[in-house]
Amino acid sequence: MDQTGKAYWSAVLGLLGKILAIWFVVSFGAGILFADVLNNIKLGGYPLGFWFAHQGSIYIFIALIFYYAKAMDKLDRKFDVHE
């Protein structure tokens, strides 16, 4: 594999690592680990930890999907591997 290919896959894996870290922090962190602390804050009448565990994490995941698509398009164009 040439240097451009290695740089491309390094950038892709870096992006995936960041997205998976955010996914972990939101789902496991906000929904389980920090739920007691977040439950002191109310959002729409519900404790924030409860909200993240049941609805908030889904919204974050959807936002991550759109961010991933946009970031991958940018990476593909940068490395000239777009369709």
What does the pLDDT read at residue 83? 78
Does residue 43 lie within any of the structural domains? yes
What's the total number of domains in the chain? 1
Does residue 78 lie within any of the structural domains? yes
Quick: pLDDT tens for 63-73. Answer: 999 999 999 99
What is the arithmetic mean of pLDDT over 36-62?
Answer: 89
**Parent domain of 81:** 23-83
Does residue 17 lie within any of the structural domains? no
Does residue 70 lie within any of the structural domains? yes
- Confidence band for 50, pLDDT divided at 50, 70 and 90: confident
Does residue 54 lie within any of the structural domains? yes
Phi, psi of 79 (to 5 degrees): -95, 10
Question: Residue 49 and residue 27: Cα distance in Å, rounded?
Answer: 10
Q: Note if the pTM is more than 0.75.
A: yes
Give, in order, the Cα–Cα distances in Å from 14 to each of 24, 29, 41, 79.
Answer: 15, 21, 33, 15
